[in-house]
Structure 1
Amino acid sequence: MAVISTYTSSQKLLHWALFALVILLYALTYGEDLLPRGDPTVDAIWRLHISFGLLLAALVLWRVTLRGIRGAPNFPPGMTGLERAAAKAGHFILYALLIAIPILGILLTWFRGDALSFFGLFTIPAPFAPDRATARTIRELHSLCANGILIAAGLHALAALYHHFVRRDAILARMLPGNRAG
């Protein structure tokens, strides 16, 4: 088995693009909450949230596919079994949330009775009738997962910083743009 020491350029691009999209989607959600009900800007923010959420779904699919094809760099020497297990569990949680959030967002949109629109380029109508009770439940799950990804991503970042500044290994460097360390 070949030793892989860094992620590919496309994997790095997707990693940072997904990070930026998650932050943007969270900001759009909170921006919407600052406006009064009925403000036309709220509808525009909602449409942007849906469009960027669909983009997130597509990029997550691409990221998961690349991870399946190319794998991930090997763990550096010196990582304990517990650290390796924690890293694998953390990545599993991040991927699970990145998959669940867009799926829940799509279902939420449809159960609200809205069509999915990707920046006005195409529209996918709801395949079923609106259901407010189901929409409320899905919204709670969507919000819970969105908060969960912020926590998981925060722990992920702290672990990377720990490896960089305390352990002084290449964990963080292998995801930084331009790093071709072998």
Structure 2
Amino acid sequence: MPTVGYSSTQKSLHWALFALVVGMYLLTFGDDLFQRGDPDRALAWRLHISFGLLLTALVLWRVALRLARGAPTLPDSMTGFERAVAKLGHLALYVLLVAIPALGILLTWFRGDALTFFGFFTIPAPFAPDRGIAGSIREVHGLCANAILILAGGHALAALWHHFVKKDDVLKRILPRREPVTCFERR
């Protein structure tokens, strides 16, 4: 079901997911910044896991909204090729946004760790640790994390191209709107 534009909730989720993905990627550098056994290294990973669980919840909300509302119609100025690339790119972003947290959860459990959400609750691993499986999952998780950054970069470049070169409203549709507060609605 096509819609005219994104809702304010969809826009907020879009930018929150962007910030979380970038922030979580930066947290992975805790391995390089802190030595093994350093409490700050463990803190960086606990934060990564907690933000990953938050990302999971927000992605599920975003997917539910996308399924319920559909996507806004694309501008008439877009060619058939551009439309196909846009749809494929969005699909790939959604697949990665679901796969990365799922892999992260499995990785945590196969490492023998419990999931914890900022210390508010803990979900123990439902199976025994397996370092071999954990290592494989970690590689795929890392590859997917790199892929989403590359894909999101392409997504951003395409939006900027639409805005500055094609001069259509593709970028404006996802930006927060600042509307003046008025007492009366114009009809």
Tell me the TM-score normalised to structure 1 length: 0.95
Distance in structure 2 (CA, Å) of the matches to 1:35 and 1:113: 21
User: Which amino acid letter does the alignment assign opposite residue 171 of structure 1?
Assistant: V
What pairs with 1:82-161 in structure 2 (closer than 5 Å)? 82-161=81-160
Which whole-Å deviations, capped at 9, do the CAs of 1:15-62 have from their partners, x for residues lacking one?
Answer: 000000001101110133211111111111111000000000000000
- RMSD over aligned CA atoms reads 1.2
TM-superposed CA distance for 1:108, in Å, is: 0.1
Q: Which of 1 and 2 has higher RCO (CA within 8 Å, sep 6+)?
A: 1
CA contact (8 A) 1:4 1:74 kept: yes
CA contact (8 A) 2:75 2:169 kept: yes
Percent identity, please. 68
CA contact (8 A) 1:113 1:126 kept: yes
Unaligned runs of 5+ in 1: none
Distance in structure 2 (CA, Å) of the matches to 1:179 and 1:54: 31
Larger Rg: 2
1:69 aligns with 2:48: no
Ranges of 4+ aligned residues in structure 1 off by more than 6 Å: none
Which whole-Å deviations, capped at 9, do the CAs of 1:60-112 have from their partners, x for residues lacking one?
Answer: 00000000001111000121111000000000000000000000000000000
1:41 aligns with 2:40: yes
Unaligned runs of 5+ in 2: 180-187
Tell me the TM-score normalised to structure 2 length: 0.93
TM-superposed CA distance for 1:179, in Å, is: 6.2
What number of residue pairs does the alignment pair up? 179
